[in-house]
Chains A and B, each alone.
Chain A
Amino acid sequence: SAVISQKPSRDICQRGTSLTIQCQVDSQVTMMFWYRQQPGQSLTLIATANQGSEATYESGFVIDKFPISRPNLTFSTLTVSNMSPEDSSIYLCSVATSGGAGMSQYFGPGTRLLVL
């Protein structure tokens, strides 16, 4: 398993500003993912951030809006740029580890973002 922490746990931001969310893992992992969960909705994958390569974004998400860094195997950041109220969401970091039963995925506690 993996223990994941995120900072900040929550924030209230003004529209037009940017927020960088940090994700720290207690072990080295190759595969890391960022998800968004809007109120009352399920999780939506934003991007895959594997160390040593550029992040891969899902349809509807672009690097200019959600730049991601992955400087090493235990850390990643997601920036929400030029925020609008529609960006109010929980942002979740997730990592994948491989085991005998295949790939297991673990989630951080999330960052709750409110944009005014």
Chain B
Amino acid sequence: SQKIEQNSEALNIQEGKTATLTCNYTNYSPAYLQWYRQDPGRGPVFLLLIRENEKEKRKERLKVTFDTTLKQSLFHITASQPADSATYLCAPRSYSGNTPLVFGKGTRLSVIA
């Protein structure tokens, strides 16, 4: 069955450092992978999408990589700030593009000032 694993439930880092979150998937052949941010008690907010033929995507302080050989995506936040503290969710999507997203459990990031 399809499985999505995010490296850890919680990650604590010091302000100013780079946070790296990992998403591994099995039994998927995703055409692209999406990353979302979720704050407590709120719905997920779309951050970035990376396609299978893209190795890397950047948006301001965010960087996502996608390695279809390793079946892994890395999500980086550089120069992290306390405001980046949230749960980050990954969601790979296959070529059957009309199917809804299935999410990993997420990684709860805490940036400590």
Contacts and interface: CB of A to CB of B under 8 A. Distances in A.
Query: For chain B, which range describes its interface: under 10, 10 to 19, 20 to 34, or 35 or more residues?
Result: 20 to 34
B101 A105 contact: yes
Nearest to A108: B43
B43 A92 contact: yes
A33 interface: yes
Nearest to A50: B98
Interface stretch (B12-20, B21-29, B45-53, B71-79): B45-53
The SS class assigned to the A binding surface is: strand
B98 A103 contact: yes
The SS class assigned to the B binding surface is: loop
A45 B102 contact: yes
A79 B32 CA distance: 33
Contacts of B98: 31, 96, 103
Nearest to A110: B43
A37 to B, nearest CB: 9
A42 B103 contact: yes
A102 B49 contact: yes
B101 A102 contact: no
A94 interface: yes
A102 B51 CA distance: 9
22 contacts: A1-B46, A42-B89, A43-B103, A45-B102, A48-B100, A92-B43, A94-B43, A94-B100, A94-B101, A96-B100, A101-B49, A102-B51, A102-B93, A102-B97, A103-B97, A107-B44, A109-B42, A109-B43, A110-B41, A110-B42, A110-B43, A112-B41
